[in-house]
Structures are given as structure tokens and as C-alpha cells.
Structure 1
Amino acid sequence: MPKFVIEREIPNAGDLTPQDLQGISQKSCGVLKDLGPQIQWVQSYVTDNKIYCIYIAPDEATVREHAEKGGFPANSVAEIRSTIDPTTAE
């Protein structure tokens, strides 16, 4: 199943409290439960003004449906074609 990276522009995301992040996570998980097992949230990275999320989903439309139902921005959605890390150099 394809993996996607989602860029969410959220001003001052880096200033969100642990409670804020918990609430966002709970909302996301609730929407995921409603959408069914075909979409999975893997992990997210919070930066100063954006959150980058990794999802497994059948297609971009499903990722965007999650964002719409959750009220989350999805400014960019890109399918991950390959993954590299330091072991790729070996």
C-alpha cells in the first residue's frame, strides 16, 4: 500500500502544548477509525509552522478525505516513492 507525506501549514505549530497535540491526535484517530483500516497514520513531525505527517493509504483522495473530515489542512500530499537512509550508502 502506498505511503504519503502530508505537509500541513499550521502557524506556530511548534508552540502547541502537549494537550493541544493530544487533542489533534485524538481527532485524527477518530476520523481514521470512521474511515476504516485502509488508511493508517504512521508518524508526524512538528516544526515551527508546519506538521509533516506520514500516512499509509490506498490513494491521495483518501488522505485528503481524512484531512477534510478532521478539519486539518493538507497543503501538500505526495506519494513516497523510495526511502533512503545511511545504510543505503553501504
Structure 2
Amino acid sequence: MPRYLIERDIEGAGLMTPAELKSVSQTSCSVLNELGPQVQWEHSYVTDDKVYCVYRAPNEALVREHAQRGGFPANRISVVSSVIDPLTAE
């Protein structure tokens, strides 16, 4: 199944409290439960004004539907073509 990197512009994302992050996570999981197991959230990175999320889904349309239902921006969605790390150099 394809992996997607979703870039979300969220002003002040890095200032969100643990309670706010928990609430956003709960909303995301609730929508994922509605969509079924074909859309999977792997993890997210929170920076100052952006959140980068990694998802697995059969297509981009389901990633966009998750964002719409959850009320999250999905400013850019990119298909991950490869993953590299230090082991790639060996």
C-alpha cells in the first residue's frame, strides 16, 4: 500500500499543549475508525508552524477525505517513493 507524507500548515503547532495534541490525535483516530483499516496513520512530526504526517492508504483521495472529515488542513500530499537511512549507505 502506498505511503504518503502530508504537510499541514498549522500556525503555532509547536506550541500545542499535550492535551491539545491528545485531542487532535483522538479526532484523527476517530475518523480513521470511520474510514476503516485501509487508511493507517503511522506517525507525525510537529514543528513550529507545520505538522508532517505519514499515512498508508490505497490512494490520495482517502487521505484527503480523512483531512476533510477531521477538519485538518492537507496543504501538500506527496507519495513516498523511497525511505533511506544510515543503513542505506552500507
Normalised by the shorter chain, which TM-score bucket? over 0.9
Deviations 1:34-82 (A, max 9, x none): 0000000000000000000000000100000000000000000000000
Q: Which runs of 5+ in 2 are unaligned?
A: none
Q: Which runs of 5+ in 1 are unaligned?
A: none
**Per the alignment, in what secondary structure is the counterpart of residue 41 of structure 1?**
strand
Match of 2:30 in 1: 30
Q: TM-score, length-normalised on structure 2?
A: 0.99
Q: TM-score, length-normalised on structure 1?
A: 0.99
Match of 1:80 in 2: 80
Runs ≥4 residues deviating over 2 A:
none
Aligned partners of 1:78, 1:17: CA distance in 2, in Å? 28
What do you get for the CA RMSD once the two structures are aligned? 0.3
Q: Structure 2 matches for 1:17-56, cutoff 5 A? A: 17-56=17-56
